[in-house]
Amino acid sequence: MSNSNGHGAGAAVAHAHAAPTGFIRKYIFSKDHKVIGLQYYFLALTAVWVGMILSLFMRIHLVWPNVPIPLFGEIKPETYLTLLTMHGTIMVFFVLTTAPQGGFGNYVLPIQIGAPDMAFPTLNMLSFWVTFLAFVALIAAFFVAGGAPLGGWTAYAPLSAIPLAGPGQGAGMDLWITSIALFCIASLLGALNFITTTLDLRAKGMTLMRMPLTCWSWFVTAILGLLAFGVLLAAGVLLLLDRNLGTSFFVPGGLNVSGVVIKHKGGSPLLWQHLFWFFGHPEVYIAILPGMGVTSQILSTFARKPIFGYKAMVYAMMAIGILGFVVWGHHMFMSGMSPYSAFAFSIMTMAIGVPSAIKTFNWLGTLWKGKIRFVSPMLFAIGFVSLFVSGGLSGPFLAQPALDIPLHDTFFVVAHFHLIMGVAAIFGIFAATYYWFPKMFGRMMNESLGRIHFFITFIGTYAIFMPMHYEGLAGRPRRYSSLDVVQFLHPMKPLELFITVAAILTIAAQFVFLFNLFWSMFKGKKASDNPWEATTLEWTTATPPPHDNFGGKVPVVNNGPYEYGVPGVARDYVMQTDPPVPAAKH
Amino acid sequence: MSTFSPTITEPKPRMGGGGGGPVSRFPGGGGGGGRGDDSPDFGETLRRYRLGLAVGLAAVLMLFVSFTSAYIVRQGLGTWDAQTQTYVNDWRPLSLPMGLLMMNTLFILAASFTIEMARRTAFQAAVMAPVVAIPGIAAEKRSPAPWLPLTLLLGFAFLIGQWMAWKELARRGFYLASNPSSSFFYVLTGMHGLHLIGGLIALLYAATIVAFRTRALERKRIIVDITAWYWHFMALLWLYIFALLKFEA
């Protein structure tokens, strides 16, 4: 191989991986996975602020119902429902499905496997811009006649299937469906790219079992996305037909809506629920798996120890992925299903607790007797473990049909999914940001600001969501715009005030993060190529990486991904491209 | 310290043009290439694109699995009849325009045949390329049959035939919203047709732009190969949809 330079390869390489020139090709319509990854990240950053502000309005309204929001106005009950619908939609799709996979996956995966880019860079670029278009379409729903939809991010029929059914259920709902359909297509194309890249573009020596767990998490997530988003797309198509062309897939007969007799008949609202949740459950694993991968990566790096039980971690992720496809009925326990079906779904749901517990114990095993460095990414990774447990533990409760009877559609469910998605997955994103920021921007983030951000957010989110378990057990329903309506909810008002104050403080702390992020991009301390002394391939290349990731060289991998503290080696870490470790076992 | 292979991946010459134009990623991957022959990198690239297509088709399959599932569920459901206060089965199987649909089936199967011939011809041309490149050896001056344009024709014929089938159904009084059975006919055939149009666009691209503007035979072969497999999938999908509609009646 050493005489390949005789082929005039230097010039040829510059040709093949010619860096694009011009602002548009470099930063707007770029096919470079690093640029695309950042584009996804900043889209998600925008989306999360929109989503947070919507939730802030909700929290303020719950506690001070008669106060009009500045620049927004009075929050009527239907407005509240719109806020929560759009909050959920934006957060689940444009933050939790976009940042971990589209953002960090795109940026880091090719580098971590030693590839110059994704398998299909043009398709990658297309995926981002279709996602962007989807976001524009969703936000546009706020501005059309009738406003944004109000049926929840779950858009149950027949409310979602009949334009007359409520304010925002007209053009707003159509835009919502269009946005989601576009998002599905973009995600499917992205999943195609991730799977092909992982299977086919690994560098020499990078066997599947030497891949960092981040790569495994993106791979399993991509497979989930590939199989799940098509189902949501089908559901969306059928819903659009029901709404606009008079079909009756989801609309039952005999409906009288707002005084108008609806002519559709024969459809089934349950069909929507099945289709939606068959997608919806894998979707939440899509949201959490990359966070698990990043946590494994970071815990190992900053405990200076190999991940405990690498193979178990891989198989656990696969098990979570596979099991995630057979549990969708646990979102439908109260839909009137046969108790036998409920039993089957319940058993499978509890079964997911096994690989999840395996992963949790392995994270603890990684930390055990490690030489822990408590830097910001590590704090957020440890926070992820804590929140994954807190949020996850309420899952088995809800997985019991008998317990779900009083708990369904209460704040117990809200607590569960917010702790695990709205906090743990977000902590995964924060951890990844603090971890890879030096590689992406060539500078370090401010460590003090990072710690302030962590501690306020960690305590704040627990303060917001833990009390909600209590409220749910006491019977507080979801999606109520006011506590005044029912007498038995009145005693919860002080708790609600506490939650709102915690929310305001926690949101305020996010400004610290935002400032740190942008300030450090320009004024942060310059970062070396490997500031964390980590082992994986992205830390072998320049900071920030050149256009083809490795500057014309092709890495050859000799070691596993987490060779920390190898006996017989002077340094406490061995990089994947270093000569093979003595008595290496991969 | 860290090992880096001094091998720099040799890109394949393509498209004659300079750095402009669409960037095609034909990297050999680490450790491959460098052997001076077209085959290893070309084989890897073909495999990569085939893998991408297979993965993408899995997603398309899931879309039709969802529609099938909805179809089967809907058949078993009834509609609530207010007068009798019971669920009444309102599934009225469609009388399908069998003649037209059979004709369309023949068209799409024939298209599968012609594009398979195109795929194999492209393969032979690519294999022969290094031989023919040797000065003094002339290729047989037989102009190959126009398999790609034939496929285009057959593909369009299928689409037009589907449109005629829709018109026939409408003539019999079955529109999209007439009854659940007709809704599913239009949805299943319509979504298949939409994907087929995508295949036609790919075919147009392969038959015109690639045929006339691309010099590199490997690139031509890959594009024809991928388009061909997509078409085979569309044909199989159609057979499945046709069977579903016919035998679920």
Q: Cis link prior to A158 (omega < 30° from 0)?
A: yes
Cα–Cα distance measured from residue A304 to residue A311, given in angstroms and rounded to the nearest whole number: 19
Cα–Cα distance measured from residue A575 to residue A394, given in angstroms and rounded to the nearest whole number: 39
Question: Is residue A20 assigned to a domain?
Answer: no
Cα–Cα distance measured from residue B235 to residue B180, given in angstroms and rounded to the nearest whole number: 25
To test the contact with chain A by mutation, choose from B79, B182, B192 the residue with the greatest count of A C-beta atoms within 10 A, namely B79
C-alpha distance from residue A387 to each of A312, A351, A561, B66, B234 (Å): 21, 20, 26, 34, 46
Whose tokens are 């085939």? That residue is B50
Count interface pairs A-B at CB distance under 8 A.
Answer: 202
Predicted pLDDT of residue A575: 95
Domain count, chain B: 1
Question: Is residue B20 assigned to a domain?
Answer: no
Predicted pLDDT of residue B218: 78
Which chain B positions have a beta carbon within 8 Å of A529's beta carbon? none
Cα–Cα distance measured from residue A342 to residue A339, given in angstroms and rounded to the nearest whole number: 5
Question: Is residue B8 assigned to a domain?
Answer: no
Predicted pLDDT of residue B11: 41
Domain that holds residue B94: 39-247
Flag the least confident range among A205-214, A538-547, B69-78: B69-78
C-alpha distance from residue B61 to each of A249, A494, A498, B184, B192 (Å): 20, 52, 49, 17, 11
Whose tokens are 């036609």? That residue is B200
* pLDDT band, residue B78 (cuts 50/70/90): confident
Which amino acid, one-letter code, is at A305? K
Cα four-point dihedral sign A170, A174, A175, A180 = positive
Predicted pLDDT of residue A24: 85
Look up the CATH number of the domain holding residue B150: 1.20.120.80
Q: State the smallest CA–CA distance between residue B102 and chain A in angstroms.
A: 27
Each residue's pLDDT tens digit, B199-239: 999 999 888 876 676 667 778 888 999 999 999 999 999 99
Predicted pLDDT of residue B136: 77
Residue A332, pLDDT above cutoff 80: yes
- Burial string for A50-70 (b: 16+ CB within 10 Å, else e) reads bbbebbbbbbbbbbeeeeeee
Number of C-beta neighbours around residue A310 at 10 A:
22
Residue B28: closest CA among B44, B15, B13, B39: B44
Predicted pLDDT of residue B211: 67
The secondary structure element, H or E, covering residue A496 is helix A493-523
To test the contact with chain A by mutation, choose from B4, B71, B185 the residue with the greatest count of A C-beta atoms within 10 A, namely B4
Q: State the smallest CA–CA distance between residue A251 and chain B in angstroms.
A: 10
For a pLDDT cut of 90, what percent of chain A falls above it? Answer: 87
Summarize the confidence of residues A473-490 as an average pLDDT: 92
Residue B25, pLDDT above cutoff 60: no
Question: Is residue A583 assigned to a domain?
Answer: no
**β-bridge pairing B79-81 and B4-5:** unpaired
Predicted pLDDT of residue A9: 34
Predicted pLDDT of residue B7: 40
Residue B8, pLDDT above cutoff 60: no
Predicted pLDDT of residue B207: 83
Contact A556 B58 (CB under 8 A): no
Domain count, chain A: 1
* pLDDT band, residue A583 (cuts 50/70/90): low
Cα–Cα distance measured from residue A412 to residue A485, given in angstroms and rounded to the nearest whole number: 20
Which chain B positions have a beta carbon within 8 Å of A563's beta carbon? none
A196 in contact with chain B, both atoms CB, cutoff 8 A: yes
Burial zone of B112 (CB within 10 Å; 0-12 exposed, 13-18 middle, 19+ buried): buried
The secondary structure element, H or E, covering residue A554 is strand A554-555
Instruction: At A270, list the tokens.
Output: 């349950």
> Average pLDDT, whole number, for chain B?
80
The secondary structure element, H or E, covering residue B87 is strand B86-88
DSSP H helices, chain B, are 39-76, 98-133, 147-171, 180-205, 211-213, 217-247
Cα–Cα distance measured from residue B162 to residue B171, given in angstroms and rounded to the nearest whole number: 14
* pLDDT band, residue A432 (cuts 50/70/90): very high
Burial zone of A446 (CB within 10 Å; 0-12 exposed, 13-18 middle, 19+ buried): buried
Predicted pLDDT of residue B93: 81
Predicted pLDDT of residue B214: 61
Predicted pLDDT of residue A16: 45
| DSSP type of residue B61 | H
Instruction: At A235, list the tokens.
Output: 């559901």
Rg (CA), chain A: 24
For residues A221 and A230, is the Cβ–Cβ distance under 8 A? Answer: no
Question: Is residue A268 assigned to a domain?
Answer: no
Cα–Cα distance measured from residue A380 to residue A90, given in angstroms and rounded to the nearest whole number: 23
Each residue's pLDDT tens digit, B177-187: 888 889 999 99
Look up the CATH number of the domain holding residue A286: 1.20.210.10
Domain that holds residue A283: 32-254+273-539
Rg (CA), chain B: 24
Cα–Cα distance measured from residue A331 to residue A336, given in angstroms and rounded to the nearest whole number: 12
Summarize the confidence of residues A512-530 as an average pLDDT: 97
Q: Provide the residue count of chain B.
A: 249
Summarize the confidence of residues A305-332 as an average pLDDT: 97
Cα–Cα distance measured from residue A30 to residue A27, given in angstroms and rounded to the nearest whole number: 6
The HSE-up count of residue A566 (CA atoms within 13 Å, CB side) is 24
Question: Is residue B23 assigned to a domain?
Answer: no
* pLDDT band, residue B35 (cuts 50/70/90): very low
Each residue's pLDDT tens digit, A262-273: 888 888 999 999
Cα four-point dihedral sign A258, A262, A265, A267 = negative
Each residue's pLDDT tens digit, B91-126: 888 889 999 999 999 999 999 999 999 999 888 877
Q: What is Dmax (Cα atoms) for chain B?
A: 88
Summarize the confidence of residues A1-23 as an average pLDDT: 47
Cα–Cα distance measured from residue A289 to residue A294, given in angstroms and rounded to the nearest whole number: 9
Which chain A positions have a beta carbon within 8 Å of B176's beta carbon? 241, 245-247
Residue A131, pLDDT above cutoff 90: yes
Question: Is residue B16 assigned to a domain?
Answer: no
- Give the nearest partner residue to B4 out of A228, A278, A554, using CB atoms: A554
Summarize the confidence of residues A360-374 as an average pLDDT: 97
Cα four-point dihedral sign A43, A47, A50, A53 = negative
In chain A, residues 469-498 whose CB comes closer than 8 Å to chain B: none
Which chain B positions have a beta carbon within 8 Å of A189's beta carbon? 56
Cα–Cα distance measured from residue A425 to residue A410, given in angstroms and rounded to the nearest whole number: 22
Which chain B positions have a beta carbon within 8 Å of A195's beta carbon? 51, 55
Predicted pLDDT of residue B133: 73
DSSP H helices, A77-120, are 77-89, 106-113
| DSSP type of residue A443 | B
Which chain B positions have a beta carbon within 8 Å of A241's beta carbon? 176, 183, 187
Question: Is residue A366 assigned to a domain?
Answer: yes
Question: Is residue B53 assigned to a domain?
Answer: yes
In chain A, residues 540-559 whose CB comes closer than 8 Å to chain B: 540, 550, 552-556, 558
Cα–Cα distance measured from residue B109 to residue B236, given in angstroms and rounded to the nearest whole number: 9
For a pLDDT cut of 70, what percent of chain A falls above it? Answer: 96
Question: Is residue B205 assigned to a domain?
Answer: yes
Residue A14, pLDDT above cutoff 80: no
Cα–Cα distance measured from residue B121 to residue A332, given in angstroms and rounded to the nearest whole number: 54
Cα–Cα distance measured from residue A42 to residue A521, given in angstroms and rounded to the nearest whole number: 13
